[in-house]
A and B are shown apart, each in its own frame.
Chain A
Amino acid sequence: MNTAAAGAVRLGRMTRSDRERIMITPEGIALPLTLASRGSRLGALVLDLMFIVLVMFGTTMVLISIAGGTAVFAAAGDGSGGNAMHALEFLAVVWIAAMFLFRNAYFLLFELGPRGATPGKRITGIRIAARDGGRLSAEMVIARNLLRDIELFLPLVFLASAGDGGDMGIASLAAFAWFLIFALFPFFNKDRMRAGDLIAGTWVVEAPKRKLEAAMSAGTSARGAASAARPEAAAPAYRFGEAELSVYGEYELQTLERVLRENRPESLRQVYEAICRKIGWQVGSGDERLFLECYYTQLRARLEAGMRMGRRKADKFA
């Protein structure tokens, strides 16, 4: 790895960390949180709006078809006309109430659930959380969603109605500026809050869901014919000395772990060659994976032993 590439990797780690926040639980354990990217939030919003519009459209269609049936009934029957009128009126009430609920209660209902996320947020893998690390309360969810009305619906409705009339005057420019102020709000604070988050004391974070993966060092028995051919209790195929293990640190160990998990032949080969060059071994071929597994296990054993002694080595430069 040349220095430019190493620099890029470091930079990559640093830019990722500007979204990372630490939350201290009541047990005193620091849990890292990653703020949701603006892209995934926008994606979630677009998905949610699509769902809302679909549900609104579906409800309207169903109510219209019921109303059509009622109207036919009213035209046919002579004595039941009054009842049919009441039925139509009831349908109108249902429609108005449903539209109000879809517009205002959709976000509330889902964000109050155990996952703290609307369907759109679930799909993009994000959720809302209290900014101070405390409980997410109903008040917060209500406050952040009431603000959505002026952030989003008000200027959009205004723009749409201005567009209908055909006069794109100063008023629609103002509405557009209004919309931009709120849309760009998350770009001007470090926690990427929108106005509603600011008022409610919430933020939007990633909701990672990870499976427990097999340990690279312990799970050799479950890894196919190559290792099955070799009895588990046997000695490691490669053994490295202190000098050969001391060249790398924790960062390289994690990179190696990732390469082993991804298990792509060409990257295994590259890393194998890089390590061989670094520790001065002759580059062979055909046995890269086994070599890397042995190196990983022994490097980890060495670094973990150091950790227990209070010595940590962050990377190869440390």
Chain B
Amino acid sequence: MIGQIAPVSSIERAALRSDRFRLEREADWQRLEAIVTQIEKGRLRKLSDDDVQALPVLYRTVASSLSIARETSLDAATLAYLESLAQRAWFLVYGPRVTLWAWLRRFLGGGWSEAVRQIGLDVLIALAVMVAGAVVGWLLVASDAEWYHALVPGQFADARVPGASREVLQGTLFGNEGKTGLSAFAAYLFSNNAQVSIMAFALGFAFGLPTLMLLVQNTAILGAMLWLYHGQGLTLDFIGWLAVHGTTELFAILLAGAAGLHIGRSMAFPGDRPVVQAAAEAGRRAALVMTGVVLMLVVAAVLEAFPRQLVGSTGGRLTIGLFMLVLWLTYFYALRPGGRASASAHASALRAP
């Protein structure tokens, strides 16, 4: 029966109905593909205004073509093409539309402080843990000076050991005026502290417990050193030496720890949300806080390298430290730029649309 030929009308032969559907719309699809390809290559500026304005319209055309084609066409290649094109266009139409600059402005203009206020409970817990860590450090060393060597790592324990004379300790606080190499020192400090605080944040993933341990360990060092200087009557000088950058740096570490704790707490107690969703919401909020923490650490490193080494008087140092503390507190808790409207706008931007 091979070669069974029967005449048919040319209209019936012309094309399938689904092919005519495709031929009528092909041009739009290909125009969208060209626009999407240009944007993906980062050549947004080279597109004409017409093309940019056409993007959402063409996206909807392709999306509706896709849903019609799914019901009427069995051309697998065309369906796959439409699915891939609709997906690529979807990523652009519903992608992050803010530029880095606009995002940064929104971030500094309220997004950051909003996120810090949202994790208020975690900040309080982290603060309590840090204070407790310092107290424990002090008490341990006060009960037995041998603890000092166990708590304080070698890099801080050069001359600053139990039994050191007042002059030696004073020298560590005031010896460095006019030294060169300060900016390299600042950059090193920043890079180091930033990695530590990123770690404090990221460890929150394990339900926040390692974050708390990291906080306790670090502030225990502080408590031990405070005890050492207190023994020689240098308490205020030590606090001044620390406060210049310490109010900023400790605040940053506090926020990093709180951010980690926030994630850990939302995963341990997700409430009536699924754990995965709770973790994601907390994670995004904490990421905002962490971006700010990195900025704060830049400030802290600059303060540590320059004013602390260049300003020699305890009074001056305390003033700078106190000023920075008031500045941060005002920024986070007192100033609410744009009032309630901008705050809720940002909160809704944080939630998934």
Give the B-binding residues of A (Cβ under 8 A). 25-27, 29, 31-33, 85, 89-90, 92-93, 96-97, 99-100, 104, 112-116, 127, 129-132, 134-140, 142-144, 146-147, 149-151, 154, 195, 198-201, 207-213, 215-218, 233-239, 250, 253-254, 257-258, 261, 281-282, 284, 297, 300-301, 303-304, 307-308
CB B43 to nearest CB in A, in angstroms, measures: 10
Residues in B whose Cβ lies below 8 Å from that of A212: 26, 29-30, 33, 77-78, 81
- What residue in chain B is nearest A193 (Cβ atoms)? B276
Residues in B whose Cβ lies below 8 Å from that of A195: 205
Asked if A201 meets B187 with Cβ closer than 8 Å, knowing A215-B19, A301-B16, the reply is: no
Determine the distance from Cα of A236 to Cα of B3 in the docked complex, in whole angstroms.
10
B51 at the interface (CB under 8 A from A): no
The A-B contact count (CB < 8 A) is 234
- What residue in chain A is nearest B97 (Cβ atoms)? A135
Give the A-binding residues of B (Cβ under 8 A). 1-8, 10, 13, 15-19, 22-23, 26, 29-30, 33, 39-40, 42, 44, 60, 63-64, 66-67, 71-78, 80-81, 83-88, 90-92, 94-98, 100, 103, 180-181, 183-184, 186-188, 190-191, 194-195, 198-199, 201-203, 205, 263, 276-277, 279-288, 290-291, 349-350, 352-353
**A201 and B352 form a contact (CB under 8 A):** yes
Residues in B whose Cβ lies below 8 Å from that of A32: 83
* Interface residues of chain B: helix, strand, loop or mixed (majority): helix
**A201 and B280 form a contact (CB under 8 A):** yes
Asked if A210 meets B6 with Cβ closer than 8 Å, knowing A90-B183, A142-B290, A235-B13, the reply is: no
Determine the distance from Cα of A236 to Cα of B7 in the docked complex, in whole angstroms.
8
Determine the distance from Cα of A33 to Cα of B84 in the docked complex, in whole angstroms.
9
**B87 and A208 form a contact (CB under 8 A):** yes
Determine the distance from Cα of A139 to Cα of B346 in the docked complex, in whole angstroms.
12
**B284 and A140 form a contact (CB under 8 A):** yes
Residues in A whose Cβ lies below 8 Å from that of B78: 212-213, 215
Partner of B72, one of A114, A135, A236, A307: A307
Residues in B whose Cβ lies below 8 Å from that of A234: 13
**B91 and A210 form a contact (CB under 8 A):** no
Partner of B13, one of A208, A215, A233, A300: A233
Partner of A209, one of B88, B95, B180, B350: B88
Partner of B202, one of A99, A149, A284: A149
**A134 and B103 form a contact (CB under 8 A):** no
Partner of B2, one of A114, A250, A284: A284
**A134 and B353 form a contact (CB under 8 A):** yes
Determine the distance from Cα of A19 to Cα of B84 in the docked complex, in whole angstroms.
16
Asked if A235 meets B16 with Cβ closer than 8 Å, knowing A93-B187, A142-B290, A201-B352, the reply is: no
